[in-house]
Structure 1
Amino acid sequence: MKEISVSELKALIDSKADIQLIDVREPAEFESAQIGGELIPLGTIPQNVDKISKDKQVIIHCRSGKRSANAIMFLESNHGYTNLYNLEGGILAWRDEIDEDLDVM
């Protein structure tokens, strides 16, 4: 599984790269703290496959990286995705390295 660090993601965001950022946490977690991703909770990934691009780099994140890894394994195994990246350490790493003021549940 391909991974990307929070500093690499920040550089992509700052450069306005054409990426898709997907947050697979639950709605309450998303409301508490977010980094600009589109909310598609892990349990709804199978019904929302059509919302996930196959044409650009897609970074998937959750709180720590486990749920996003599960989402990526599902999408790669069942839908042939090859453009997915797991955010190492998830939003907790983002808080620790990029935005200390982020209030993560």
Structure 2
Amino acid sequence: MNPIQTVMDLAGGPVALTREINKRIERPVTYQAVLKWARQGRLPRTEWTGETRYAKAMSAAVGGKVKVRELLVRPAVGVGGDQKQPTAPTNQARVAINSEARQMVQEVA
């Protein structure tokens, strides 16, 4: 079971967890979003960009029984949804990504 599912179970289900999260954040989320996070086993991108603080609100909702750092673990999903260990991109992949990013910036400018 992933940490988000654990928090949801401890809080009493997706609706109860959504209510608790919404007490602690500015922009409300829907219970459908909470279900999606639990199904995917991860929080949205906005947690890593600092736009939201769902992990903090979720941890507080269950009295800290699940820590924020546990909720911020990003699972690596392989073919067919199999869990596998995350791997760092190779140098060749980094160069390709950086090159592509530079190209996109030039096109926009």
**Fold-level match, TM-score > 0.5?**
no
Relative to its length, the structure with more helix (as a share) is 2
Relative to its length, the structure with more strand (as a share) is 1
Q: Relative contact order, CA 8 A, sep 6+: which one is greater?
A: 1
TM-score, length basis structure 1? 0.28
Larger Rg: 2
